[in-house]
Amino acid sequence: MIHALPPLLQRSLASLAPGATDDAAAFTLDRQWQVTHWNAAAASLFGREAHDTIGQPLWQAFPDTFDAAFYQQCVDAAGLARPVHFEYEGAGRWLDCIVYPCSDGLTCVLEDISAPKAEAARVAQLHDIYRNVFQATSDAIWHWNLDEDFVFRHGEHFRKQFGYDIVDTVFPTALWHEVVHPDDMQRVLRNLETVLADPAQPHWSDQYRYKRSDGSFAHVLDTGYILRDDTGRARTMIGALRDITETELAKQALLESRNQYQQLFDSSPLAKWIYDERTLRILEVNRAALKQYGYTREAFLQLNLLDLHPKKEQRRVLQLSRAGKRSDARYEGRWHHLHRDGSVAAVEIASTGITYEGTDATIAVVHDITEQLRLQDTMLREKILRQKELTRVILNTQEKERHEIATELHDNINQVLTTIKLYLEIALTDEAARPALIEKSYRQTQAVINEIRSLCRTIIAPTHTEPCLVHNIRDLIASYEPVAPFTVHFDAAPDFPALPPEMSLTLFRITQEALNNVVKYAGAQNIWITLSAKKGCVRLKVRDDGAGFQPARRRKGVGITNMQNRASLYGGRATISSAPGLGCTLEVELPVPAPATTDVRTTSA
């Protein structure tokens, strides 16, 4: 089989003629490996002239240049009867070799490729460094050839970030338009064109939405470095595409959170503002504060914290602001604030340190307590008036009781004692009448004792080893039975609790006052007294079937008022319902101060 010679080999063979020259080194070998032809390029490449080489075996002429691998390639060419093309490294150089079998031996053509090989190695090394740089960043790297208008995408990070299964691929620039969000395209293009047209701009950067392979959009930051020629024209652009979706979503969430906080801040019914801790200047204010203080928003934001305080408080404000310059400073207190119209309001302020737009600040929540203090002052004055009225009633009651005691002593007991005195004076001189007079004096003295005992019972509450309201009321009822023209029906609930002595005495006195009123005014035939307990309260009810009266009419006595005042001392109330001819009902309700044991008693009287 005859093989066509490659052009390089044809030229090299032609150069074997005497005087011919060629860039490729060429020589021929006979079947005994002796050199039969040696061209000038071979002499130049190996530093050995033809007359020193022809006729010698190749391995003898060049013992250190060609090794077994080279000879094996030559044997393969002869054995296969076809040219063999290979690269070979020997004697410190790389050679591109073609061995062609001939009828009388072999023709070898060699070209020194050491320089291209070294350049290729350097390029490969740079390529490895380039790839390592890609691996060191999470950005998707691209290279835009502006002259030929194509973009080279280095695929690994495009696949990881955006899902495109590409590996170092060239794309026409038009395809980039398909992945930029339509709403962002015109803005990005205008920015890009402006930067490329300005020779003084070495960088370009923009944010936009980039379409992923699944059709969703990622927020990206795209930056590029522009390479220009001597005229300033942009020729190449190398850039990096970074997925900033998480950052943008976090910004959006932060913005939404801030908007929600702003809405809460603005819509709060309490006045609020934020001020700079260092300058005390108002930074933000809500609608409630503007309404409360009478300012427009613009005017309020021109204020300093001191502008809201009377002069007598400004020094204290400065002292506290200096002492509280910490991000976590908290304060609560009462102050006075000036409104725009000059009026002064009492306020309670709660404040805490915050960071507002990068500034150490304080947020203050202000509660206007002017009306509250006014009501408290009014209530205090009313309480004092009630206490004065109660004191007046107590004093009147005491005077009434003293008057009644004095009247009783003067009109009754004193008269009886005067009679006894007269009986005894006569008995001293009249022996005949003496026994009868002494008997009369004895009976009168016993009457006085009984009268004094009855009088004392109305003044001093009955006492027992263990004070019991039920027992005391029974004793009170018993004291009326001999002389009263009515019947008393008494009922106490089985679970009626034992009360503190003072409360028991209060209910006893109210019952006593009610019975006295019935005796004096009602003309009743029956009185019903009931004691009960329910839901933390004790109740006393006194009802009669007497003449009744109009409760709304002004009364001269203090009995009813006294009963009501006694009930109010324990946070209770006393109410009276009556009408002419329908009797009268007194109901008293007192809260029980603490759990107590149940009285032991009978339930009927």
Q: What is the pLDDT of residue 531?
A: 92
* Strand, coil or helix: 268: coil
Answer for the pair 510, 574: CB distance below 8 angstroms, yes or no.
yes
Q: What is the pLDDT of residue 4?
A: 45
Phi, psi dihedral angles at 12 (to 5 degrees)? -65, -40
- Virtual torsion, Cα 211, 216, 221, 222, nearest 10 deg: -10
* Strand, coil or helix: 241: strand
Phi, psi dihedral angles at 467 (to 5 degrees)? -55, 130
List all residues 6 or more positions away from 111 whose beta carbon is below 8 Å from its beta carbon: 8, 23, 24, 25, 95, 96
Dump pLDDT digits (tens) for 533-574: 888 899 999 999 988 888 877 565 567 777 888 888 888 888
Residue type, 225: Y
Q: What is the pLDDT of residue 452?
A: 77
Q: What is the pLDDT of residue 517?
A: 84
DSSP lists the bridge partners of residue 105 as 102
SS (H, E, C) 9-49: HHHHHHCCCCCCCCCCEEEEECCCCEEEEECHHHHHHHCCC
SS (H, E, C) 79-137: HHCCCEEEEEEECCEEEEEEEEEECCEEEEEEEECHHHHHHHHHHHHHHHHHHHHHHHC
Residues with pLDDT less than 50, the chain: 1-5, 17-21, 326-328, 464-466, 596-605
Rounded to 5°, the CA angle 158-160-163 comes to: 70
CA 410 to CA 441: how far, in whole Å?
Answer: 18
Q: Are strands 105-112 and 84-90 parallel, antiparallel or unpaired?
A: unpaired
